[in-house]
A and B are shown apart, each in its own frame.
Chain A
Amino acid sequence: GAGVSQSPSNKVTEKGKDVELRCDPISGHTALYWYRQSLGQGLEFLIYFQGNSAPDKSGLPSDRFSAERTGGSVSTLTIQRTQQEDSAVYLCASSLATVGNTIYFGEGSWLTVV
């Protein structure tokens, strides 16, 4: 597609449920990133993929968070046993290589845990 596509755009889930957030990067972009934007806080880095491998998972907040990327394209961020503090906007981004190139962000997945 023309831009980074994320789904769902909005998700309301009950505490304790699992959620999956999907990201479809710009075609040909080898680098893919997940960031989180919480109310009143800045954007925080979660994870980075180069191809299908994730050299840096250091930003994942807890072991309830995991992410994978398949075929060097689509990525899924999974949050298990959601908690209210997981409520945030989850932003996916992609670039041709690493940060040396312009990074393009999707519209985000707005997650609300009730």
Chain B
Amino acid sequence: KQEVTQIPAALSVPEGENLVLNCSFTDSAIYNLQWFRQDPGKGLTSLLLIQSSQREQTSGRLNASLDKSSGRSTLYIAASQPGDSATYLCAVGNDYKLSFGAGTTVTVRA
């Protein structure tokens, strides 16, 4: 069974600091890895999708890396803003099923 772990569980930083969120998974036989954002009381918003053959994806201030052999992914958010405050979820895709981590709750202080 795929186990996904996210560290840290919570993170508080001042505005402007770079964010580093970590995700690890136990079974490297994955199709892809997806990072999501969840705001309180809301659904999930997809941020980045990395296919298993890729090593990273970038979108604006967001960059996600994937090291399938070691079972790790890192989400970098540059120059954080208060609007980045949310819970970030990592999900590993095995064919049609996503296995989620518990998330990292980020607070960016103005």
Contacts and interface: CB of A to CB of B under 8 A. Distances in A.
B4 to A, nearest CB: 8
B43 A108 contact: yes
Interface residues of A, number: 24
A48 B46 contact: no
Tell me the dominant secondary structure on chain B's binding face.
strand
A65 interface: no
B102 interface: yes
Contact of A45 (B31, B49, B97, B101): B97
B96 A102 contact: no
A42 B32 CA distance: 19
Given A45-B97, A56-B97, A99 B43 contact: no
Contacts of A25: none
B68 to A, nearest CB: 15
A111 interface: no
Contacts, number: 58
Contact of B96 (A56, A104, A106, A107): A56
Contacts of A35: 98
Contact of A99 (B89, B93, B100, B102): B93
A107 B39 CA distance: 10
Interface of B: 31-32, 34, 36, 42-46, 49, 51, 89, 91, 93-103
Interface of A: 4, 31, 33, 35, 42-43, 45, 48, 50, 55-56, 91, 93, 98-108
Pairs A-B, 9 closest by C-beta atoms: A99-B93, A105-B44, A98-B96, A107-B43, A43-B100, A105-B43, A42-B102, A48-B96, A42-B100
